C-alpha cells in the first residue's frame, strides 16, 4: 500500500495547507485506497495567490526571455528524472495505464523544453514603412496575471501546455487544477520550485469547481486559459468576456474516424482501438464516432469486435493492463447511462459486456470497452453528445461524400482521423472535414508541442494552443513606429 500524499497549495513561493474544506483523491481502480488528501484552498488563498502574482509580474516580465526559458529547461530535467515515479502516481490517481502515465509525464518535459528554448527564437517582427526614415516593429508583451484552469484527464500535460508558454512569455499564473486528480499538479509546481522559479510567478490552488468563478471574477485577472467540459468552458468564457478579459477555452469533441473502402484495415483497426480506448476514452481528442464504408463494414467491425473482446481490463498500474477505470463513480454512471440510453433508442451492441457486477472490476470505476452500431436514418443522442468514456458509436456510409457529411454532423470540430490509401480522398478530406486537427491514417488523439492544437466549430473558443499559436494568446502586440530625430551634429 503506497503512502497517502499530503496535498498543499503553492502560494508566493511557499507551501501552505489551505483554509477550505477537506479534499481526498482516491484510486479509481480501488476506491477504498486514498492517494492524496488535504484541505482545499479557500478565498484567503485565492487573494494571496493574486496578490503574489501581481507583485511578481513586472519583474518576471522584465526578466530576459532567455533566463525565463532557463528555468523552464531546468524544470524539464526535473520532470524527466521523475517520469517513472510520477507516471505511476498518475496511473494510480487518474486511472490511465502506467505506460500512458509515464508517457504523459515525459510529454510535459518535452513541452517545457520546447517553450524553454523559445526565448531564443524570434521575439517580434519588423516591417518596412511607407515613410522615409522609419521602421515599423511589432513587439510582444505578456498579458500579466493569467488564470489557468485544467481538467483531470491529462493532469500534467495540459497544465504544461498552458503554464510553459504562459511563463515563457512573461506572465505570472494562478492555477486551479481539477481537484479530483490533484497530485501531479503538486509535482509540476515542485519541479518549477526546484528549477528556481521566483516566488509568486506560479501559484497553485487546489480547490472546488466554484474556485474557477473566483478566479475569473478577480479584478487582477488579465487572461484565462481553460480546458474542460463545454458547459463550464462556456460559462467561464462568458464571464471573462463580460469583464473584457481575453480567454482561450478548449472544450468538447465528438471525434470521428472515417474508414474508407480502400484503407489498410489492419492499420485502421489498430488506430481506431487506440483512439477509442486509450485513457479509457477520456480525452477531448478520443475517437468516439466511427464512420465505415459499407462494402468493408462487416469485416472491419468483426476485426474491432475481436480486438475489443481481447482487451485486458484492470488495475492500470499492472503493465499487462490495456484499459483502466474511468476517473470516478459519477463518470462511470453517466457513461453507462449514455450506453443504456443508446441501446434503448435502438443501437445494437457490436462489442461490449453488460456493466461489471462483481469482483474488482465492479468495485473500481470500470466501464467495459463498448462499440455500438446506430440504426440508419435515426438521430441518437450518443452520436452528438460527448460521453468521455470507452464507447465508440458506429455508422455506415454508402459514399465518401456521405462519410464526410456524417463526420461533419454535430457542433464539435476538434479532430478527425481519415483512413485511406487514396491520395485523392485524403486531399478531399483536408478540404471538406471541418476540424482543427486532421489525422490521415493515424488515430484522432495526439498533439505535438510545436504546432497549433485546438478545434473548429464549437470545440474551442479563442486562440489555439501550443506552438507559435500559444504566443497569440499569452502575449499582446505593440506596433512601434520607429523614427530617429535629426542627426546630432
Give catalytic residue positions. Answer: 250, 284
Pick the closer one to ligand UN1 by CB: 5 or 185.
Answer: 185
Instruction: Write down the H helix ranges in 169-229.
Output: 183-194, 210-216
List residues bridging with 134 in a β-sheet.
483
User: What is the DSSP secondary structure assignment for residue 164, as one 8-state letter?
Assistant: H
Look up cell 516591417; give the residue.
127
Residue choice 154, 175, 226, 300 for contact with ligand UN1 (CB under 6 A) = 154
> Which of these segments, 45-53, 56-64, 153-161, 477-485, binds ligand UN1 (CB under 6 A)?
153-161
Residues 6+ apart with CB under 8 A from 377: none
CB of residue 153 vs ligand UN1: minimum separation in angstroms? Answer: 5
Tell which positions 202-231 bind ligand UN1, by CB under 6 A.
Answer: 227
Q: How many CB atoms lie within 10 A of CB 357?
A: 8
For position 445 contacting ligand UN1 by CB under 6 A, the verdict is yes
Q: Which long-range CB contacts under 8 A does 131-134 form with residues at least 24 apart?
A: 131/483, 133/483, 133/484, 134/481, 134/482, 134/483
Q: How far is the CB of 202 from ligand UN1 (least distance, A)?
A: 20
In DSSP terms, 413 is beta-bridged to 456
* Positive or negative torsion for Cα 435, 436, 440, 445: negative
Binding flag, residue 285, ligand UN1 (CB under 6 A): yes
Smallest gap from Cβ 436 to ligand UN1, in A, equals: 11
- Residue 103 binding ligand UN1, by CB under 6 A: no
Nearer to ligand UN1 by C-beta: 139 or 442?
A: 442
Q: Which residues pair with 475 in a beta bridge?
A: 142
Q: Which stretch binds ligand UN1 (CB under 6 A): 36-44, 140-148, 150-158, 373-381?
A: 150-158
- CA dist 163 and 223 (Å) reads 12
Residue 122 dihedral angles phi and psi, to the nearest 5°: -55, 135
CB of 155 to ligand UN1, least distance (A): 11
C-beta of 222 vs 465, nearer to ligand UN1: 465
Asked if 171 interacts with ligand UN1 (CB under 6 A), we say no
Q: Which listed residue (176, 218, 283, 425) binds ligand UN1 by CB under 6 A?
A: 283
Can residue 124 be called a binding residue for ligand UN1 (CB under 6 A)? no
Q: Nearest distance from residue 451's CB to ligand UN1, in Å?
A: 12
* Residue 172 binds ligand UN1, judged by CB under 6 A: no
User: For residues 242-263, b (16+ Cβ closer than 10 Å) or e, as one string?
Assistant: eeebbbbbbbbbbbbbbbbbeb
Residue closer to ligand UN1 (CB basis): 38 or 228 = 228
SS3 content of the chain, % helix, strand, coil (to 5): 40, 25, 35
What distance in Å separates the CA atoms of residue 7 and residue 25, rounded to the nearest whole number? 10
Number of residues in contact with ligand UN1 under rule CB under 6 A: 12
Instruction: Quote the CA–CA distance of 273 and 435 in Å, as a whole number.
Output: 21
Residue from the set 446, 456, 458, 476 that interacts with ligand UN1 by CB under 6 A: 446
Residue 250 binds ligand UN1 (CB under 6 A): yes
Q: How far is the CB of 326 from ligand UN1 (least distance, A)?
A: 14
447 binds ligand UN1 (CB under 6 A): yes
Cβ closest to ligand UN1, residue 283 vs residue 425? 283
Query: Which helix (H) or strand (E) element contains residue 17?
Result: none
Residue number with CB closer to ligand UN1 (75 or 445): 445
Q: Which stretches does DSSP call E strand in 145-214? A: 145-149, 172-176, 202-204
Q: Which segment (88-96, 164-172, 207-215, 441-449) binds ligand UN1 by CB under 6 A?
A: 441-449
Q: Identify the residue among 48, 153, 180, 225 touching ligand UN1 (CB under 6 A).
A: 153
Which residue, among 405, 407, 410, has the nearest Cα to 394 in the 3D structure?
A: 407
Decide whether 23 or 156 has the Cβ nearer to ligand UN1.
156
Shortest Cβ 210–ligand UN1 spacing (Å)? 21
Smallest CA-to-CA distance from 397 within 362, 425, 423, 370 is with 425
Q: Give CA–CA dist 69/123, Å, rounded.
A: 13
Using the minimum distance from each CB to ligand UN1, give the nearer residue, 153 or 172.
153
Q: Does 355 bind ligand UN1 (CB under 6 A)?
A: no
Q: How far is the CB of 228 from ligand UN1 (least distance, A)?
A: 8
List 54, 192, 284, 374, residue binding ligand UN1 (CB under 6 A)? 284
3-state SS, residue 304: helix
User: Could you say whether residue 72 binds ligand UN1 (CB under 6 A)?
Assistant: no
* Interface with ligand UN1, residue 272, by CB under 6 A: no
Asked if 205 and 41 touch (Cβ cutoff 8 Å), the reply is yes
Q: Confirm or reject binding of residue 248 to ligand UN1 (CB under 6 A).
A: no
In this structure, the strands spanning 124-128 and 134-142 are antiparallel
Give contact residues for ligand UN1 (rule: CB under 6 A): 151, 153-154, 158, 227, 250, 283-285, 445-447
Amino acid at each position: 500500500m503506497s503512502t497517502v500524499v499530503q496535498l498543499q497549495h503553492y502560494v508566493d513561493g511557499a507551501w501552505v495547507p489551505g483554509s477550505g474544506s477537506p479534499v481526498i483523491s482516491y484510486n479509481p481502480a480501488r476506491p477504498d485506497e486514498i492517494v492524496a488528501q488535504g484541505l482545499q484552498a479557500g478565498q484567503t488563498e485565492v487573494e494571496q495567490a493574486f496578490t503574489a502574482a501581481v507583485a511578481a509580474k513586472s519583474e518576471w516580465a522584465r526578466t530576459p526571455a532567455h533566463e525565463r526559458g532557463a528555468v523552464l529547461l531546468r524544470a524539464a530535467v526535473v520532470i524527466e528524472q521523475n517520469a517513472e515515479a510520477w507516471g505511476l502516481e498518475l496511473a494510480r490517481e487518474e486511472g490511465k495505464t502506467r505506460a500512458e502515465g509515464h508517457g504523459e509525464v515525459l510529454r510535459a518535459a518535452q513541452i517545457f523544453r520546447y517553450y524553454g528554448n523559445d526565448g531564443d527564437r524570434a521575439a517580434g517582427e519588423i516591417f518596412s514603412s511607407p515613410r522615409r526614415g522609419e521602421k515599423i516593429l511589432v513587439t510582444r508583451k505578456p498579458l500579466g496575471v493569467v488564470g489557468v484552469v485544467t481538467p483531470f484527464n491529462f493532469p500534467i500535460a495540459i497544465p504544461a501546455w498552458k503554464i510553459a508558454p504562459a511563463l515563457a512569455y512573461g506572465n505570472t499564473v494562478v492555477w486551479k487544477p481539477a481537484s479530483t486528480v490533484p497530485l501531479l499538479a503538486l509535482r509540476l509546481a515542485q519541479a518549477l520550485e526546484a528549477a528556481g522559479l521566483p516566488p509568486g510567478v506560479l501559484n497553485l490552488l487546489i480547490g472546488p469547481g466554484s474556485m474557477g468563478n473566483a478566479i475569473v471574477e478577480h479584478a487582477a485577472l488579465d487572461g484565462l486559459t481553460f480546458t474542460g467540459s463545454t458547459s463550464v468552458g462556456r460559462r467561464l468564457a462568458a464571464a471573462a468576456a463580460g469583464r473584457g478579459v481575453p480567454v482561450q477555452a478548449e472544450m468538447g469533441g465528438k471525434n470521428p474516424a472515417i474508414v474508407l473502402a480502400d484503407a489498410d484495415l489492419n492499420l485502421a483497426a489498430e488506430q481506431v482501438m487506440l483512439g477509442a480506448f486509450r485513457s479509457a476514452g477520456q480525452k477531448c481528442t478520443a475517437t468516439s464516432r466511427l464512420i465505415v464504408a459499407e462494402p468493408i463494414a462487416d469485416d472491419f467491425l468483426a476485426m474491432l469486435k475481436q480486438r475489443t473482446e481481447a482487451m485486458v481490463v484492470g488495475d492500470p498500474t499492472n503493465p499487462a493492463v490495456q484499459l483502466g477505470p474511468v476517473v470516478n463513480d459519477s463518470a462511470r454512471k453517466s457513461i453507462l447511462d449514455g450506453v443504456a440510453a443508446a441501446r434503448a433508442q435502438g443501437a445494437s451492441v457490436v462489442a461490449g459486456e453488460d456493466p461489471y457486477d462483481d469482483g474488482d472490476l465492479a468495485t473500481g470505476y470500470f466501464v467495459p470497452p463498448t462499440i455500438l452500431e446506430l440504426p440508419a436514418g435515426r438521430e441518437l443522442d450518443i452520436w452528438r453528445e460527448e460521453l468521455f468514456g470507452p464507447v465508440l458509436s458506429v455508422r455506415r456510409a454508402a459514399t465518401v461524400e456521405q462519410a464526410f457529411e456524417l463526420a461533419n454532423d454535430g457542433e464539435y470540430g476538434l479532430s478527425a482521423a481519415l483512413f485511406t490509401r487514396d491520395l485523392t480522398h485524403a486531399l478531399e478530406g483536408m478540404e471538406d472535414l471541418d476540424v482543427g486537427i486532421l489525422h490521415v491514417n493515424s488515430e484522432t488523439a495526439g498533439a505535438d508541442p510545436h504546432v497549433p492544437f485546438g478545434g473548429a466549430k464549437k470545440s474551442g473558443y479563442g486562440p489555439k494552443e501550443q506552438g507559435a499559436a500559444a504566443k497569440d494568446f499569452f502575449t499582446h502586440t505593440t506596433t512601434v513606429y520607429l523614427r530617429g530625430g535629426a542627426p546630432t551634429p
